[in-house]
């Protein structure tokens, strides 16, 4: 239930994520949520997508993000897809290697609630940690 869009900065990950979210709202039988660390892409998203700026909710840790996601899912049982742009930046993480436990838990949350999670992570192609490879789109 988890997909990772992985690539170096400026490689088009955000555009890919926005396009996927806009396609999902057309094809999805439920609600779509897009979480980002700022408001720059809000005008590029279909108005039917629930946009959330993580900074407005003081999310600063991986545990905080997981709790936030669970709260969002608990408040709306119709959510079928969640997109998270700039995942490491939202949680203040410099190294992708530190995200293994969180990525696995987000995957578990998605499976448990039948919600597809798509996240973007910046890093050099070919240098991604092994635990992420199975999720890369």
Record the tokens describing residue 126, joined without a space: 């070919």
CA distances from 69 to 31, 100, 115 (A): 14, 17, 11
Domain hosting 120: range is 2-133
pLDDT for res 128: 84
Check if the beta carbon of residue 83 is closer than 8 Å to that of residue 17: yes
Residue 54, H or E segment = none
pLDDT for res 27: 84
Residues in the chain: 137
Model pLDDT for residues 30-72, shown as the tens digit of each residue: 999 999 999 999 999 999 999 999 999 998 899 999 999 999 9
Transcribe 79-132 into DSSP letters: EEEEEESSHHHHTT-S-GGGGHHHHHHHHHHHHHHT-EEEEEEE--TT---HHH
For the chain, what is the domain count?
Answer: 1
Record the tokens describing residue 54, joined without a space: 């993580």
Give me the CATH number covering residue 113.
Answer: 3.40.50.300
User: Percentage of the chain surpassing pLDDT 90?
Assistant: 68
């Amino acid at each position: 239930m988890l997909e990772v869009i992985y690539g170096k900065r400026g490689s088009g990950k955000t555009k890919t994520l926005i396009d996927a979210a806009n396609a999902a709202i057309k094809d999805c039988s439920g609600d779509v949520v897009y979480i980002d660390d700022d408001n720059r892409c809000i005008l590029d998203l279909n108005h039917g997508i629930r946009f959330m700026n993580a900074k407005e909710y003081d999310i600063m840790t991986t545990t905080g993000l997981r709790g936030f996601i669970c709260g969002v899912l608990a408040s709306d049982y119709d959510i079928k897809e969640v997109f998270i742009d700039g995942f490491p930046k939202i949680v203040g993480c410099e190294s992708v290697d530190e995200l293994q436990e969180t990525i696995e838990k987000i995957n578990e949350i998605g499976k448990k609630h039948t919600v597809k999670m798509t996240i973007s992570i910046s890093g050099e192609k070919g240098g991604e940690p092994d635990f992420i490879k199975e999720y890369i789109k």
